[in-house]
Structure 1
Amino acid sequence: MMREFEIERQFDIKIESIKPNKGVYYLKTDKGERCLKKINYGVQKLLFVYGAKEHLILNGFNNVDRYFLNIEEEPFAVVNEDLYTLSEWINGRECNFKDKNDVALAAEKLAYMHRATKGYEPPENSKLKSDLERWPHLMDKRIKSLDKMRAMGRKRGTKGAFDLNYIKSLQFYKDLGKRATKVLGDSRYMDICRSTEEEKSFCHHDYTYHNIIITDDCVNVIDFDYCKREVRAYDIANFMTKVLKRVDWDIEYAKIIIDNYNKVDSLREEEYKVIFAFLLFPQRFWRLSNRYYYNEVNWAQNTFGNKLDNLISEQDIYMNFIEEFKELYNQVE
C-alpha cells in the first residue's frame, strides 16, 4: 500500500485527490495536476532517464513529462522501498495512428527530439543504457530462440491452438529474420553506431501512440523509461511498424513518416538500409511467442491465439509492403 503522506512529505505537496489511470496515478494537488508513477527499475537507471529529459529541455525540446524534484533535490520518492516519480499531468489526447495529419506531426516531432538528444552526457551516478552495436547479436539470438520455443511447443502433451499455429508459421518468420540479419550485415550499421556514439545521442525506444500526447498547440512526448543510446533508425522503424500494423501496411503512411522526418533532419542514404532491416525483422512474432512460452504476461489463452492469428493474417499485405518499400527507397538485398 502506497503511503500518500510520504509522497506529500517528500515532494512537498498536498494531495487533494488521487485516482489510478492506465498504470499511473492522477493527482490533484495544491500545486496543480500531477502524474505519479511507480518505477520498476533502480535509481541509477532512473537518473539516466531523468538526465535525458533534462538534456532535451536544455536543448530547447520542452514538450516532455519533466520530473519534479523531491525536498532533497532528487527526481523520485522512496516509499516502502518502492520508487515513485512525479511529473506534470499533460492534458491532451493520444496520437491517432490512423490519422495522416497526426502521423505527420508525430514524425516531425521525433526528428526534433532526436536532434535535441545530441551531446547527452549521463549523470555520473547513473547507469548508461546502450544498444549500440548489439543488433546483429540480438537478431541472431532471437532467431535461434524461435527454434527453442518450437521445441517447447512440441514437448507439450496437449497442444493448444497457439502451439499448432506457431509450429506451422515458424519457418516464414525465421526466413524473415535471416533476411533481416543479412540486410543489417550488408549495411553500414557499425559505422552508424560509431557516429551515434560520437554525437552522444539517444532514442526514446517506445515511440508509440500513448506516449505521444497532442494538445491544442503542441505535440508532447512522455514516458522515457526505455530511452537509451541507440541508432535513430531504430526509433523510426519501430514507430513505422506501430503505425503500419494499424493501417494494413499502407505504404503511404511510411512515406508520410519519412517525408516529415526528413523535413526536419534528413536521413542519410545508409540509414535507409538499417531501417529496412528493422522493418524486415519479425520482432512482433518473436515478442508474442516469448511472452507465451515464458509466461511473461498473464493473458488468457485465446488472447495469445487471437494475436497470433492476426499476425499470420497480415502476411500477404506485409510482404507486399516490403516489396513497395524496397522499390520506393532503392533497397537491394
Structure 2
Amino acid sequence: MMREFEVERQFGIKIDNIKANKGVYYLKTNKGERCLKKINYGPQKLLFVYGAKEHLIKNGFEDVDRYFLNIDGEPYALVNEDLYTLSEWLDGRECDFHNIEDVKIAAKTLAKLHEASKGYDPPENSKLKTDLGRWPTLMAKRVKSLDKMRDMVRKKNNKSSFDLLYIKSLDFYKKIGKEALRTLEESEYESLCAIAENEKGFCHHDYTYHNIIIGQDNHISVIDFDYCKREVRTFDISNFMTKVLKRCNWNMEFATAIIDSYNEESPLKEEEYKVLFAYLQFPQRYWRLANRYYYNEVNWGQNTFASKLEGIINEQEEYLNFLGQFKDKYNIK
C-alpha cells in the first residue's frame, strides 16, 4: 500500500485500480489510464531518455509514451530507492512482423523518428549515452569472446546439448563475424559516425514489434526508449530488419520493402549500405544467446537455450542466401 501511496503522492494522482501487464503496471486513475514502469537504471540516464522523447515531440514526432512529471517537475517517482516512470496508457495492437504492410509503416515511422531526433542536446545533469565509433571494437571483442566461451565448454566434464551445438556451429559464426568486421572496417563507418555526431541525432535501439503500437487508422506510437542513444541510424535499421527477417525466413522482399519505405521519408546515402550490410552480416543473435548462456545472464531452462540455438543454426542456408541477395541488389563491394 505504501508504494501505491507514494506513487499517488508524487505524481498527484489517485489510483482506482492497478494490475501487472508485461513487465509494467496498468493503472486506472482519476486522471485517466496510465502506465507505471519500474526503471532499472539511474536518474541521469533517465533524464537522457526523458529529454530524447521531449525533443522528438518538439520536432513534430509526438506519438511516444511521454513521461508525466512529478510534483517537483521530475520525470519519475522515487519509492524505496526505486525509480518509477508514469506515462499515458496507449491503446492499440503490437506491430505484426509477418504482415508486410505493418512492416512498411513501421519502417517509415523509424525514418521519421530518426529525422526528428536530429539536434538533440541532452538536459543538464543527464548522462550522454553513445555507441558512436564503438562498433569495430565491439565486433572484434565479440568474435574473440566466441573462442573464450568455447574454452569454457572444453573445461566442462558434462557437456549439455547447448554446449555440443555451440562447439559444432562455432566455426561458421566466427568466420561470418570476422567477415562482418572486415566489411565494417572497409566501409565509411568512421566518417558516418562523424556526421551523426555533428547532427546530434539518436537511435531507439530496441525498435521491435512490442514497442511499435498500431492504433486506429494505422496510427503508430513508439514506446520504450530505455535503450536510446547516439548511434548511426543504420544500426537501428539493421536491428529492425533482423527482427523482421528472422520471422519471415530471411525473405528479401521484406528487406527491400523496409529499405524502400525508409527511403521514402529519409533516403540512405550510398555509403550507408555497406555499414548496414556489416550489421546484418554480424552474428549478433548467436553471440548474444551464447553470452546469455555462459554468463548466466537470463534464467531460462536448458531446453529453451538449446532450442533457440537450434533455431538460429537451422536458418544458416536462408541467412547466407539473403546476404548474397542483399550484396547483389545494393551493389556492396
TM-score (norm 1): 0.99
> Is 1:265–2:266 an aligned residue pair?
yes
* Residue 58 of structure 1: aligned partner: 58
Q: Quote the Cα distance in structure 2 between the aligned partners of 1:69 and 1:184.
A: 42
Matched, 1:36 2:9: no
Tell me the residue number matched to 1:294. Answer: 295
Could you report, residue by residue, the CA deviation over 1:219-265 in whole angstroms, capped at 9, with x for unpaired residues?
Answer: 00000000000000000000000000000000000000000000001
Across the two proteins, how many residue pairs are aligned to each other?
A: 332
Equivalence for 2:22: 22
CA shift digits 1:80-114 (9 cap, x unpaired):
00000000000000000000000000000000000
After superposition, the CA RMSD in angstroms is 0.7
Structure 2 counterparts to residues 145-156 of structure 1, below 5 A: 145-156=145-156
Matches within 5 A, 1:300-319: 300-319=301-320
- Matched residues in 2 for 1:256 and 1:154: separation? 44
Partner of 1:328: 329
The runs of at least 4 aligned residues of structure 1 exceeding 6 Å deviation read none
Equivalent residue runs for 1:97-112 within 5 Å: 97-112=97-112
AA in 2 matched with 1:305: A
Distance 1:101 1:185 in 2: 35
Output the amino acid matched with 1:11: F
Give me the whole-angstrom Cα distance separating, in 1, the residues matched to 2:186 and 2:291.
28
**Partner residue, 2:79:** 79
Match of 2:67, SS state, is coil
SS in 1 for 2:292: helix
Secondary structure of 1:3's counterpart equals helix
- Structure 1 letter corresponding to 2:126: S
What per-residue deviation string (whole Å, max 9, x for no partner) do you get for residues 145-166 of structure 1? 0000001111111000000110
Q: Give 1:124 shift.
A: 1.1
> Within 2, Cα distance between the matches of 1:138 and 1:124?
29
Query: SS of the residue aligned with 2:271?
Result: helix
Aligned partners of 1:72, 1:58: CA distance in 2, in Å? 22
Between stretches 70-79 and 2-11, larger displacement belongs to 2-11
Deviations 1:252-280 (A, max 9, x none): 00000000000001000000000000000
Per-residue CA deviations over 1:108-164 (Å, capped at 9, x if unaligned) read: 000000000000000010000000000000000000000000011111110000001
Matched, 1:143 2:126: no
Give the partner amino acid of 1:8.
Answer: E
TM-score scaled by structure 2? 0.99
Shift in Å, 1:2: 6.6
Q: Distance in 2 between matches of 1:209 and 1:290?
A: 23
Question: What per-residue deviation string (whole Å, max 9, x for no partner) do you get for residues 16-36 of structure 1?
Answer: 000000000000000000000
Corresponding position of 1:89? 89
Using the alignment, how far apart are the partners of 2:303 and 2:311 within structure 1?
Answer: 12
Question: Partners in 1 of 2:153 and 2:42 — Cα distance?
Answer: 35
Q: Which residue of 2 aligns with 1:238?
A: 239
- Structure 2 stretches of 5 or more lacking a match? none
Residue 216 of structure 2 aligns to a residue in which SS? coil
| Matches of 1:248 and 1:98, distance apart in 2 | 10
CA separation in 2, counterparts of 1:27 and 1:2?
Answer: 16
Separation of aligned partners in 1, 2:144 and 2:40: 29
CA contact (8 A) 1:162 1:308 kept: yes
Amino acid across the alignment from 1:128: L
Q: Measure, in 1, the Cα distance between the counterparts of 2:165 and 2:88.
A: 45
Partner of 1:274: 275
What are the Cα deviations for residues 178-207 of structure 1, in whole angstroms up to 9, with x where unaligned?
Answer: 000000000000000000000100000000
Residue correspondence of structure 1 range 158-237 to structure 2 within 5 A: 158-217=158-217, 218-237=219-238
Structure 1 contact 2–80 (Cα < 8 Å) conserved: no
Partner SS state of residue 159, structure 2: coil
